[in-house]
Amino acid sequence: MSAKKTPGESAREKAVDTAYRTEPIAWKMERPPVIYSPSRLETYRQCPQKFKFTYIDQVPSSLEGIEAFMGSRVHEALYKLYTDLRFCKLTSLEDLLAYYREIWENEWHGDIQIIRDELTPDEYRALGEKCLIDYYRRYAPFDQTRTLGLEHPVQFNLDPDGRYAMKGFIDRLSQPKDGVIWIHDYKTKGFFPTQQDLDQDRQLAYYQMAVQRLWPETKEVELIWHYLIFDQEIRSRRTTDDLEALRQETIALIEEIETTTEFPVKQSALCSWCEYRAICPLFRHLYETASLPKNEYMNEEGVFLVERLAALQIEEVRVKGEIEKVKEALLAYTQKKGVEILFSKTHKVRVKIYENVRFPGRNDPGRPALEKAIKEAGRWEEVSSLDVFALSKVLLSGAWGAELTERLKKLGKPDKSPWIKVFPRDERK
């Protein structure tokens, strides 16, 4: 709570993380094992390219989203609240809000980004105040449990040899009764997750692993998320089997990170808040051309090509519509005349009617019954064929497992093909 938090990552986690460079293959020989945080792993899952910028290239960035800034100040205020309680001092709500406003002013800096232009810094500050007010009124006088730790640092191994190590900071640890520990996490996100979302959350499950190693006498661990904007609390538990599956999944992910040589961009809604947009392959051209004078901008090669392709595709749509109208007229004319071929000085057109049977498409409701009838007749192999595009997609996803994936890849050959599509543009994308 005392450290600044960026989306999905505290500043202290990031500071410790970037003390180790994750360089593929050669890294293992030159450096001690990296200690991974949940946020470091989640960054790789969300976007390998951002992972590379952050932890391998260590590209500096002073940008901070206002949502993250507000979340950091709320965390710091809650840290003060519970720190004072340790000394039997109950901070009043008025004093807590005054402290929040003070650190907001002291920590404000010029590199804070506001993505949602319709909102002001004061409105974000007020939202943080509302989070604190709701939390205070819900839990005061805060004597439901005994606080064991605030921003509690944890570190543990995923394997007996310490080859795969994890670390992090727990917002708050509390004990409602002997043998039971609650792991609290404070969220200021504007998205309210489902119970299923949090039952699959990895971060607090990692912290449960740590807690059970630090205090092996613990009988129960409960994971608690406080979604402060919504004044809601969601709880979840993990079984021994759940934690073992996560342990194995995480070891496999770390192996992938440390052996890969490719860090592709993965576009998502999070891109709008990314501090590396100006150097990202998806958005770099946008930033490179943003400051050009208008006459230079329109003549810049990339801008020109985009405008040209967009204009041609608009023309293509218009021409396709014209072609269909002419074809309809040709069909009507040949049927009226009772002929099949029409002639001009330079070309001829043949119009012929073919009879066929139109069957339900792949997503039509009648498709399952059609496939069932063919299979029952023993004729499926005669009319079915392998969808190589779908096969390539599933192999690249790794969904079929490493062994089968590698075996099938040997039966094909590597290929790269361009995919070019024009989209309407908004201000951030």
pLDDT at residue 427 is higher than 80: no
Task: Classify residue 64 as exposed, middle or buried by CB count within 10 Å of its CB (0-12, 13-18, 19+).
Answer: buried
pLDDT at 8: 40
- Among 22-36, 228-242, 348-362, the range with the most confident prediction by mean pLDDT is 228-242
Query: Which residues have C-beta within 8 Å of that of residue 100, sequence separation ≥ 6?
Result: 73, 74, 76, 77, 128, 129, 132
pLDDT at residue 129 is higher than 70: yes
Confidence of residue 46 (pLDDT cuts 50, 70, 90): very high
| Residue-level length of the chain | 429
Residue 181 near residue 223, CB atoms below 8 Å: no
pLDDT at residue 106 is higher than 90: yes
Tell which wins on pLDDT, 51 or 3.
51
For range 394-417, the mean pLDDT = 85
Taking alpha carbons only, the member of 117, 114, 120, 73 closest to residue 96 is: 73
DSSP assignment letter at 162: S
3-state secondary structure of 25: coil
pLDDT at 428: 55
Query: Which residues have C-beta within 8 Å of that of residue 32, sequence separation ≥ 6?
Result: 20
pLDDT at 141: 95
How far apart (Å, rounded) are the C-alpha atoms in residues 418 and 429? Answer: 21
pLDDT at 32: 66
Confidence of residue 65 (pLDDT cuts 50, 70, 90): very high
For range 253-274, the mean pLDDT = 92
Confidence of residue 139 (pLDDT cuts 50, 70, 90): very high
Tell which wins on pLDDT, 404 or 31.
404
DSSP assignment letter at 277: G
Give the DSSP letter string of 118-145.
Answer: T--HHHHHHHHHHHHHHHHHHHTT--SS
Residue 72 near residue 5, CB atoms below 8 Å: yes
5-259: what fold? Lambda Exonuclease; Chain A (3.90.320)
Least confident residue range of 29-38, 151-160, 210-219, 388-397: 29-38
pLDDT at residue 206 is higher than 90: yes
pLDDT at 406: 87
265-319: pLDDT as tens digits: 999 999 988 999 999 999 999 999 998 998 899 889 999 999 999 999 999 999 9
User: Domain boundaries in the chain?
Assistant: 5-259, 298-350
pLDDT at 67: 95
pLDDT at 75: 98
Proportion of the chain above pLDDT 90, given as a percent: 72
How far apart (Å, rounded) are the C-alpha atoms in residues 363 and 361? Answer: 6
The tokens for 202 are 């990895």
pLDDT at 396: 82
How high is the mean pLDDT of the chain? 89
Cite the beta strand spans of 210-279 per DSSP E: 220-227, 232-236
pLDDT at 151: 96
Taking alpha carbons only, the member of 163, 186, 155 closest to residue 73 is: 186
For β-strands 146-157 and 165-175, DSSP reports them as antiparallel
Query: How far, in Å, are 105, 250, 273, 284, 422 from residue 310 at the CA level?
Result: 47, 44, 28, 20, 6
Predicted TM-score (pTM) of the model is 0.77
pLDDT at 84: 96
Integer-rounded Cα radius of gyration of the chain: 30
pLDDT at 429: 54
For range 321-347, the mean pLDDT = 94
